[in-house]
């Protein structure tokens, strides 16, 4: 992953020294698409970092957003964290996330149904442990919750024409993972992080407000337990007059979501995915 990016080997070598491991060899031996290990998460983050550097050389980036764990990449490229801090933080958080048991929670994707309709169906369902985990657009979002309740709800959603699929992972971005917040806080304290003010405006996917040195760590603690709202970020950027997006993600999925969201608003805007082999 990321081998086509300028200077990526040097970036992996630098990160290897931070973690005292060989990321170059790991990147050769592993398929990142099939590996959710902490080292794989670090490589994904660094792919985003290297991709940003390439684009920023050609045309300076005006704003930065990061969906879910992409907030860590955003903190690095915006200048809030040093390289070493971002690598170590990504690795430590990924270790905590790796230890979350599947138990009885899952994620359920939902497409081709208006979010207002889905919300009404949820409110009328009587189901108590289902939450909006990720909102990508008005017709593309993800629920997180108790797996048995999600199965019942999926049946209802499909009768309304929704396309639903289960993801084999815990209910990230919901209150059901509340127990990991103290662990994230402990990581932050142990690393003695002191974020700087972002050099490029960097928006949060949790509250759609601009990140700062004073508020970002508090948001990071709640990153895995709060709804990630990419759609609101896009609305903010469009209001600011943004007419082009550059996405970095695995397989081009993020660029597809951004493209669809922009098209649904009948706005002319160019969306370019610069790395279909990985990112963050």
> Closest Cα partner for 228 from 251, 200, 199, 257?
257
Give the distance from CA 36 to its chain's centroid. 14
> Closest Cα partner for 146 from 181, 115, 173, 107?
107
Contacts of 271 (CB under 8 A, 6+ apart): 244, 245, 247, 255, 258, 259, 262
pLDDT score for 261: 73
Cα(15)–Cα(80) distance, rounded to whole angstroms?
A: 17
Cα(7)–Cα(65) distance, rounded to whole angstroms?
A: 23
Residues 102, 170: contact at Cβ < 8 Å? yes
Whole-model pTM: value is 0.89
Domains of the chain: 8-97+196-275 (3.40.366.10), 105-167 (3.30.70.250)
Q: Which of 110-114, 115-119, 121-125, 253-257 bottoms out in mean pLDDT, i.e. has the lowest?
A: 253-257
β-bridge partners, 134: 142, 228
CA distances from 4 to 1, 80, 96, 193 (A): 8, 26, 30, 32
pLDDT score for 270: 67
Top-confidence residue, 66 or 222? 222
Taking residues 239-248, report their average pLDDT: 84
pLDDT score for 249: 66
Task: Write out the H or E segment, with its range, that includes residue 279.
Answer: none
Cα(176)–Cα(138) distance, rounded to whole angstroms?
A: 24
pLDDT of residue 1 exceeding 90, the answer is: no
Residues 273, 265: contact at Cβ < 8 Å? no
pLDDT of residue 174 exceeding 70, the answer is: yes
Band (pLDDT 50/70/90 cuts) for residue 24 is confident
pLDDT score for 250: 58
Q: Where are the alpha helices (DSSP H) in 8-129?
A: 8-19, 23-29, 38-58, 70-77, 83-98, 115-125
CA torsion sign for 1, 251, 244, 44 is negative
pLDDT score for 278: 37
Taking residues 223-236, report their average pLDDT: 94
pLDDT score for 248: 74
Structure letter (DSSP) for residue 203? E
pLDDT score for 277: 39
pLDDT digits (tens, 9 = 90+) for 258-268: 777 777 666 66
Task: Write out the H or E segment, with its range, that includes residue 221.
Answer: helix 216-221
pLDDT of residue 33 exceeding 70, the answer is: no
Q: Which two tokens stand for residue 107?
A: 């994620």
Band (pLDDT 50/70/90 cuts) for residue 219 is very high
């Amino acid at each position: 992953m990321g081998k086509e990016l300028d200077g990526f080997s040097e970036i992996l070598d630098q990160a290897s020294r931070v973690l005292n491991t060989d990321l170059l060899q790991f990147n050769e031996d592993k398929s990142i698409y099939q590996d959710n290990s902490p080292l794989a998460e670090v490589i994904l983050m660094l792919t985003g970092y290297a991709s940003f550097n390439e684009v920023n050389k050609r045309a300076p980036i005006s704003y930065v957003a990061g969906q879910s764990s992409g907030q860590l990449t955003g903190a690095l490229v915006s200048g809030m964290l040093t390289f070493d801090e971002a690598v170590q933080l990504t690795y430590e958080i990924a270790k905590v996330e790796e230890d979350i048991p599947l138990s009885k929670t899952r994620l359920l994707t939902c497409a081709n149904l208006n979010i207002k309709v889905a919300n009404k169906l949820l409110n009328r369902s009587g189901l108590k442990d289902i939450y909006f985990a990720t909102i990508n657009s008005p017709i593309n979002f993800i629920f997180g919750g108790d797996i048995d309740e999600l199965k019942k709800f999926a049946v209802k959603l499909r009768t309304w024409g929704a396309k639903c699929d289960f993801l084999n992972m815990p209910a990230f971005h919901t209150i059901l993972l509340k127990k990991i917040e103290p662990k994230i806080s402990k990581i932050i304290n142990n690393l003695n992080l002191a974020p700087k003010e972002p050099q490029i405006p960097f928006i949060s996917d949790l509250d759609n407000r601009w990140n700062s040195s004073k508020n970002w760590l508090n948001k990071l603690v709640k990153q895995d337990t709060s709804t990630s709202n990419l759609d609101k970020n896009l609305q903010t950027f469009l209001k600011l007059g943004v007419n082009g997006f550059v996405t970095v993600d695995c397989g081009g999925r993020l660029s597809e979501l951004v493209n669809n969201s922009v098209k649904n608003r009948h706005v002319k805007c160019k969306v370019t995915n610069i790395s279909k082999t990985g990112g963050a």
